[in-house]
Structure 1
Amino acid sequence: MKHQRVGTALAAATIMTLGLSACVGNEAPEQTTTSAPEDAVELRLSHVYDPSHPVQTCGVPSLNGALEGSGVFINAFPAAQLGSEAESLEQVVTGSLELAVAGPSFLGVWEPNVAMFDAPYLFRDIDHFVETLDGPVADEIFASLKEESGLDVLSTWYYGTRHVTSKEPVSTSADLAGKKFRTPDAPLYLAMADIMGGAATPMALSEAYLGLQQGTIDAQENPIPTIASQRFYEVQDYLNLTGHMIQGVMIVGSDASLSALSDEQRAALQEAMVDASAAVRECIEDEEASFVEEWREAGTIQINDDVDVEHFRQRALEMIPNSFEWGDLYLEIREG
C-alpha cells in the first residue's frame, strides 16, 4: 500500500513521547474511544502519548470521522497501554496489532535511513519538512522499510518543533558547556546534545521533571506541547527557541496487520489519513503558538528569542554528515 504523506494532508480540509512505559498487571487496557459500529472492522492503534496529546484528541477523531460509513473503526490506546513504540512495531509486523505510531528513531532500527528524519537541523521549517516527507527521498526510504520489515508507513503526522529549556539562557553552544543535558537514549539524540553543547545525560521522559527539580540534570529539550504537559516550566527558567528538530511521527501498519480490510476499506483508510495528518498538524501548531504567547504574557517561563540558530545549524553541518551512514543524504535534503 502506498503511504500517505504529510504534503497531501495540507490540501485537506482544516486540519519521543520517548520514555513512557507500558501498563503492567492483569487489567485490560482502558479503551478510549466509543464502541465500533456494528459489523465494522476494528483497528487498534497503539501510541505512547498522553490521552490529552493531539495524536489522540485530534488525529483519532479525524480518522473515525473520515471513516464513517466505510465499515472501518479506529480504537486508540494511548499512554503505551499496548506496549512501547518498539513493542508495538513488533506486534504490527506479526499481525497481532493493526496500527502503531512510532518516531523515526524507532523505525530506524528496521531501516537506518528512516532515523535520519530525526536529525538536528535537517529541515529549514515545517514546510520543508512537509515537502521532504512528501517527496521521492522519503518514498524510497519508506519502500525500503517495507521491503526489509513489512512495516508500511501509511502517514506522517507533524509532532512538533523541539526547543531547549534551561536554568540560564542558551544562545550558543557555549551556554550549555558542562551542563547535564537530558536526552532520550538513542545515538542521534546523543549527537544532538553534542551539537547543542551539553553533556548528554540519557534519562526517561517520565524521570526528567524530578531530575530537573533535584539538579540531576540542568536542561532538557522537547516540543512545546510536551514541555507544557510535563510542566517543565515549573522547574526551568528559560525556554530557548532553538528549533533544533522539526519532527514527525509515522502511523504504520503491515499487510499482515491489515489483512481483514477489503481493497475499498484500505483506500478509505488511506484517505482518512489525509484528514488526520492535517488535523494533527493544525492542533500542534495552534498549541505551539498559544503556549508561547501565554507563557510570555504571564511570565510563566522566560522566552529566549535571542538564540543564534545559525551557530547551531553550522555545528550540525560539521558533526552530523561524518557520524552517520546517511550523512550524504542528510546534506542533500538540508541543502535542497
Structure 2
Amino acid sequence: MKNFRSSTFLAASAAIALGITSCVGDDAEVENGDAGAAEGDELRFAHVYDPDHPVETCGVPAMNDSLDGSGLQVSSYAAGQLGNEEELLEQVQSGALDLAVAGPSFLGVWEENAELFDATYLFSDVDHFEETLNGDVAEGIWNDLRESSGLEVISSWYYGTRQLTSDVEVTTSEDLSGQTLRVPEAPLYQTMAEILGGSPTSMALGEVYLGLQQGTIDGQENPIPTIASNSFQEVQDYINITDHVIQGVMVVGNEDALSGLPEDQQQALSEAAAEAADDVRECIEDEEESYLEEWEESGEIEINDGVDVDHFRDRAAERIPNEFEWGDIYLEIQEN
C-alpha cells in the first residue's frame, strides 16, 4: 500500500514535511506490508477512543465502504496510539498525520469560537445539533479555524449526550452541593460542573473508575456509551438524565494537504465522512438506548429520569452568555 502522504500529499504543499515517518514512537509507524494488500492510497486516521467505540466500529468501516473505488483508504489508529487529542491536532496541523478526531474544546485552542459547540444546553436535541453543525454558523467558525491554523473540519459526528452519574439522586443543583465532580480540563467544563452544582476537578479519564471507587471524586459526567465502556455503573448508584451537553466530535485534516487531492477524491472523502456521520449517530443512539434498557432490567445502576432539566437550563442561561466571548452565538443557536 502506498502511504498517502508520500504521494498526493507531497504535491499539496512542499512547505509541509509529509514523509513516511513515525509521529509518536514506534506505535506511530506505518506497516506497509505487501504492496497488493489493499488498493489505493492510505489515509492515516487517529483518535483517542477505545477500539469498541462507535467512532472506530461504525465510523471507520463506513468511511472505507464509501471510499471503495476512489483510490483512497482509511487506516485507523485508535485508543490514543498516536497521542492525545491535542497532540493529534498538532500532528495534523504540521502535516505529520492525515486525519484526526477531536472535540470542540480542543479545536477551541486554535479558534476560540469552536469551543462553544461543547456548551451546556446549547442544543435542544440531536437533530438540532446536526442541523447546526451542518449549517452557516458552524461553516463560518470552521472557515475561521482553517484560516488561522490550516486545520480543516470535514465532518462532525455525534458523540453522545452527556449524563451525570453520582451516589446521590440529583433533581436540582442543590443535590450536588459539596460534591466533587470530575470534568475534562477546560474552562468551559469547569463552568458546566458549577452549573450542575458540583465542585469541578480534573482527572484523566483512565483514572476516574478508581477515583469513584475510592471516593476521591463523588461523580462524573459522560455520554452513556463512555460510561458503559469504562464501567462507571459499577461504582456509582445513579445515572441522572440531565442531557446537559449534546456533543459532537470533528474529523479534521490539513487544508493544504486536502486541497492537493484530485477533485474527485476530495469529493469522495467529503461524502465518505458525511455517510460515516450517519452511521456513527445510529450506533451511538442504539447504544444509548440499549444500555439504559440493560441497566433498568439489571438494576446495576438506578436511572433517575426525574431531573429538573429546566432548572439546569436556566442556570446555564444565567452564566454562559455572560462569561464567554461567543455568548451571542450561543444565544443565536439556541433560538434557531
TM-score by length of 2: 0.89
Aligned 8 A contact 2:45 2:100 in 1: yes
Distance 1:278 1:47 in 2: 18
| Aligned-partner SS, 2:116 | helix
Aligned 8 A contact 2:27 2:82 in 1: no
1:28 Cα shift?
5.2
Distance 1:105 1:36 in 2: 40
Instruction: Name the counterpart of 2:153.
Output: 153
Aligned 8 A contact 1:181 1:193 in 2: yes
| 1:140 partner letter | G
1:133 Cα shift?
0.8
Instruction: Name the counterpart of 1:246.
Output: 246
Instruction: Name the counterpart of 2:270.
Output: 270
Can you give the 5+ residue segments of structure 1 that lack an aligned partner in the other structure? 1-22
Distance 2:154 2:25 in 1: 32
Whether 1:192 and 2:219 are equivalent positions in the alignment is: no
The structure in which a higher percent of residues are helix is: 2
| 2:318 partner letter | E
Distance 2:290 2:27 in 1: 37
Aligned 8 A contact 1:93 1:257 in 2: no
Larger mean CA deviation between 264-273 and 97-106 belongs to 264-273
Distance 1:40 1:323 in 2: 48
Q: 1:180 to 1:38 in 2, by over 3 A?
A: closer
Q: 1:295 to 1:332 in 2, by over 3 A?
A: same
Q: 1:227 to 1:111 in 2, by over 3 A?
A: same
Distance 2:35 2:79 in 1: 19
1:150 Cα shift?
0.7
Q: 1:318 to 1:36 in 2, by over 3 A?
A: farther
- Which digits, 9 at most, give the CA deviation of each residue in 1:260-294, with x for residues without a partner? 63221111111111210000000000000000011
Aligned 8 A contact 2:28 2:82 in 1: no
Q: 1:165 to 1:38 in 2, by over 3 A?
A: closer
Distance 1:260 1:95 in 2: 13
- Which digits, 9 at most, give the CA deviation of each residue in 1:212-251, with x for residues without a partner? 0000000100000000000000100000000000000000
| 2:100 partner letter | A
Q: Which has the higher contact order (CA 8 A, sep 6+)?
A: 1
Q: 1:137 to 1:232 in 2, by over 3 A?
A: same
1:256 Cα shift?
3.3
Instruction: Name the counterpart of 2:40.
Output: 40
Bigger Rg, structure 1 or 2: 2
Can you give the 5+ residue segments of structure 2 that lack an aligned partner in the other structure? 1-22
Q: Sequence identity of aligned pairs in percent?
A: 61
1:35 Cα shift?
8.9
Q: 1:36 to 1:79 in 2, by over 3 A?
A: farther
| Aligned-partner SS, 2:322 | coil
Distance 2:288 2:228 in 1: 10
Q: Which stretches of structure 1, 4 residues or more, deviate above 3 A after TM superposition?
A: 23-31, 34-39, 256-260
Q: 1:27 to 1:289 in 2, by over 3 A?
A: closer
Aligned 8 A contact 1:182 1:219 in 2: yes
Aligned 8 A contact 2:51 2:57 in 1: yes
